[in-house]
Structure 1
Amino acid sequence: MVSSQPTLLGGRYEVRTLIGRGGMAQVHLGFDTRLSRIVAIKMLRTDLAQDAIFQTRFRREAQAAASLNHPNIVAVYDTSEENLQLPDGSVVSVPYIVMEYVEGHTVRDLLVGGTPVPIDEAVEIISGVLSALEYSHTQGFVHRDIKPGNIMLTNTGKVKVMDFGIARAMADSQATMTQTNAVVGTAQYLSPEQARAEVVDARSDLYSTGCVLFELLTGRPPFKGDSAVAVAYQHVSEMPPTPSSVTHDIPDAIDRVVLKSLAKNKQDRYSSAAQMRLDLERALAGSAIAAPSVASWEASTVTLAAMQPTQTLIAANASVSDTATDLPAVPGKRVGAEKKKSNLWLWLTLAFVTIVLAGVGLWWALGSSAANKPTEELVEVPAGIINVDFADARRALAKAGLEGVQGEKVASDDVEEGKVISADPEPGTKVKKKSKVHLQISSGPASLVVPNIKGMSQDQAREVLKSVGLKIGEVDRLDELGEPKDRILKSDPEIGATVTKGSSINIFIASGNVQVPGDLVGKSLEEVRGTLEALDLKVVERQVETNDQPVGTVLAVSPQGVLPTRTSVTVDVAVAKPEPAPAPEKDNTNPDRSENPVDAPADPDKTKPGN
Structure 2
Amino acid sequence: MDQLPRMLADRYEVGRLIGRGGMAQVYIAYDTRLSRTVAIKILRSDMATDDTFLARFRREAQSSAALNHPSIVAVYDTGEEEVETGTGKVTLPFIVMEYVNGQTVRDLLADGDPIPIDEAAHVAAGVLSALEYSHREGIIHRDIKPGNIMLTPDGSVKVMDFGIARALSDHHSTVTQTNTVVGTAQYLSPEQARGEVVDIRSDLYSAGCLLYEMLVGKPPFTGDSAVAVAYQHVSEVPTPPSTVTADIPDSIDRVVLKALAKNRDDRYQTAAAFRSDLLSAVRGQAVTAPATTAYVAPAPMATPIATTVFPTGQSVPSAVSAHTGNYPPYQTGQFPAQEKKSSNGWLWAIIVILLAVLGFVAWQVFGNDDPPEEPTPTITMVDVPNLEGLDQTEARTTLEDHNLELVIGEPVESDDVEEGLFVSSNPEIGTSVEEGSTVTVSFSSGVGEVTVPDVTGLNVDSARNLIEAEGLVWGTSDSVDNFPEYDEGEVVSSDPAADQQVPRGTQVNVQVSSGRVSIPNLLNMNIDIATAELDNLKLSYRIEYEETAEAEPDTVIAQDYREGSIVDTGTQITITVAEEPPATEDPTTEDPTPTEDPTTEDPTPTEDPTPDPTTEEPPPTEEPSPTEGE
TM-score of the superposed pair, with normalisation by structure 2: 0.50
Report deviation, 1:37. Answer: 0.6
Match of 1:32 in 2: 31
Query: Compared with structure 1, are the counterparts of its residues 224 and 178 closer, same or farther at alpha carbon in structure 2 (3 Å cutoff)?
Result: closer
In the alignment, what sits opposite 1:273?
271
1:278 CA drift (Å): 0.7
One-letter code aligned to 2:5: P
Give yes or no for contact 1:529–1:539 (8 Å, CA) kept in 2: no
Q: Which amino acid aligns with 1:75?
A: A
1:335 has 2:313 as partner: yes
| Counterpart residue number, 1:81 | 80
Contact 2:185–2:229 (CA<8 Å) still a contact in 1?
Answer: yes
Displacement of 1:67 in angstroms is 2.2
Is the Cα–Cα contact under 8 Å of residues 187 and 210 in structure 2 kept in the other structure?
yes
Distance across 2 between alignment mates of 1:178 and 1:190 = 12
Contact residue 17 and residue 29 of structure 1 kept, 8 A: yes
Query: 3-state SS of the aligned residue for 1:102?
Result: coil
Alpha-carbon distance between aligned partners in 2 of 1:123 and 1:255, rounded to the nearest angstrom: 13
Deviations 1:304-361 (A, max 9, x none): xxxxx9xx9xxx9xxxxxxxxxxxxx7741628xx4xx76xx39969xx9xxxxx952
Residues 57-456 of structure 1 correspond to what in structure 2 (within 5 A)? Answer: 58-89=57-88, 91-165=89-163, 167-168=165-166, 180-298=178-296, 332-333=310-311, 335=313, 339=315, 346=318, 360-361=337-338
CA distance in 2 between counterparts of 1:530 and 1:299 reads 79
Contact 2:239–2:296 (Cα < 8 Å) also in 1: no
Q: 1:49 Cα shift?
A: 2.2
SS at match of 2:231: helix
CA contact (8 A) 1:195 1:236 kept: yes
Partner SS state of residue 63, structure 1: helix
C-alpha distance after superposition, 1:63-106 (max 9, x if no partner): 331121111111111111111122222x2221111111111111
User: Does the aligned pair in 1 maintain the 2:173–2:198 contact within 8 Å?
Assistant: no
Equivalent residue pairs, number:
357
SS of alignment partner, residue 249 of structure 1: coil
In structure 2, distance between residues paired with 1:149 and 1:59: 20
Q: Matched residues in 1 for 2:211 and 2:155: separation?
A: 17
Matches of 1:185 and 1:138, distance apart in 2:
21
Which residue identity lines up with residue 21 of structure 1 in the other structure? R
How many Å apart are 1:295 and its aligned residue?
1.9
Give 1:550-569 correspondences, 5 Å limit. none
Q: Secondary structure at the match of 2:338?
A: helix
Corresponding position of 1:468: none
Q: Assess, with a 3 A threshold, how the Cα gap between structure 1 residues 178 and 289 changes in structure 2: closer, same or farther.
A: closer
Check 1:227–1:483 CA distance in 2 against 1; reply closer, same or farther (3 A cut): same
Unpaired segments ≥5 residues, structure 2: 326-335, 342-448, 453-478, 501-505, 520-564, 566-630
The one-letter code of the counterpart of 1:116 is: P
State percent identity of aligned pairs: 57
DSSP-derived class of the 1:95 partner: strand
Contact 2:113 / 2:216 at 8 angstroms: preserved in 1? Answer: yes
Based on CA coordinates, which of the two structures has the bigger radius of gyration? 2
Evaluate the alpha carbon distance shift between residue 289 and residue 301 of structure 1 in structure 2; reply closer, same or farther with a 3 A threshold. farther
Tell me the alpha carbon deviations over residues 551-592 of structure 1, each in whole angstroms, 9 at most, x when there is no partner: x9999xxxxxxxxxxxxxxxxxx9xxxxxxxxxxxxxxxxxx
| Amino acid corresponding to residue 313 of structure 2 in structure 1 | V
Structure 1: unaligned runs, 5 residues or longer: 304-308, 317-329, 354-358, 365-480, 485-518, 541-549, 556-573, 575-611
SS at match of 2:295: helix
Q: For 1:424-573, what aligned pairs fall within 5 Å after superposition?
A: 520=480, 533-535=495-497
Change beyond 3 A, Cα 1:19–1:291: same
**Cα drift, residue 168 of structure 1:** 4.5
Contact 2:255–2:278, Cα closer than 8 Å, also in 1: yes
Give a deviation string over 1:247-275, Cα, whole Å, max 9, x none.
Answer: 11111111111111111111111111000
SS class of match (2:115) = coil
AA aligned to 1:233 is: Y
C-alpha spacing 1:201/1:300, structure 2 compared with 1 (3 Å): farther
Structure 2: distance between partners of 1:179 and 1:125: 30
Change (3 A) 1:285 1:221: same
- The SS at the match of 2:54 is helix
Cα separation, 2, equivalents of 1:258 and 1:20:
30
Distance 1:538 1:119, change over 3 A: closer
Distance (Å, rounded) in 1 between the aligned partners of 2:260 and 2:218: 15
Q: Look up the equivalent residue of 1:114 and give its one-letter code.
A: G
Mapped partners of 1:533, 1:254: distance in 2? 62
Counterpart amino acid of residue 186 in structure 1 = T
Answer yes or no: is the 8 Å Cα contact 1:144–1:205 preserved in 2. yes
Alpha-carbon distance in structure 1 between the residues aligned to 2:312 and 2:32: 54
C-alpha offsets along residues 401-451 of structure 1, whole Å, 9 cap, x if unaligned? xxxxxxxxxxxxxxxxxxxxxxxxxxxxxxxxxxxxxxxxxxxxxxxxxxx
In structure 2, the partner of 1:19 is 18
How far the C-alpha of 1:59 sits from its partner, in A, is: 2.6
Corresponding position of 2:46: 47
Given that residues 46 and 92 in structure 1 are in contact (C-alpha distance below 8 angstroms), is that contact kept between their aligned partners in structure 2?
yes
Write the letter of the residue equivalent to 2:195.
A
Give per-residue Cα distances to partners, 1:209-255, cap 9 Å, x unaligned: 11111111111111111122111111111110000110111111111
**8 Å contact kept, 1:63–1:78:** no
> 1:58 Cα shift?
3.2
C-alpha distance in structure 1 between counterparts of 2:237 and 2:129, whole Å? 27
Say if 2:175 and 2:193, in contact at 8 Å, map to a contact too: no
Q: Which residue of 1 aligns with 2:534?
A: none
The CA distance in 2 between the partners of 1:63 and 1:255, in whole Å, is: 37
RMSD: 4.3
Matched to 2:228, the amino acid is: A
8 Å contact from structure 2 (residues 175, 183) kept in 1: no
8 A contact 1:30–1:38 mirrored in 2: yes
Matched to 2:211, the amino acid is L
**Residues 238 and 302, structure 1, Cα contact 8 Å, conserved in 2:** no
Letter of the structure 1 residue corresponding to residue 106 of structure 2? R
State the alpha-carbon separation in 2 of the partners of residues 157 and 177 from structure 1.
Answer: 32
Instruction: Give the 3 Å change call, closer, same or farther, for CA 110–299 of structure 1 in structure 2.
Output: closer
* 1:147 Cα offset (Å): 0.8
AA at the equivalent of 2:112: G
Distance 2:105 2:61 in 1: 24
| Cα pair distance change 1:180/1:302, threshold 3 Å | farther
Aligned residue for 1:545? none
Name the SS of the counterpart of 2:139 in structure 1: coil
SS of the aligned residue for 1:298 comes to coil
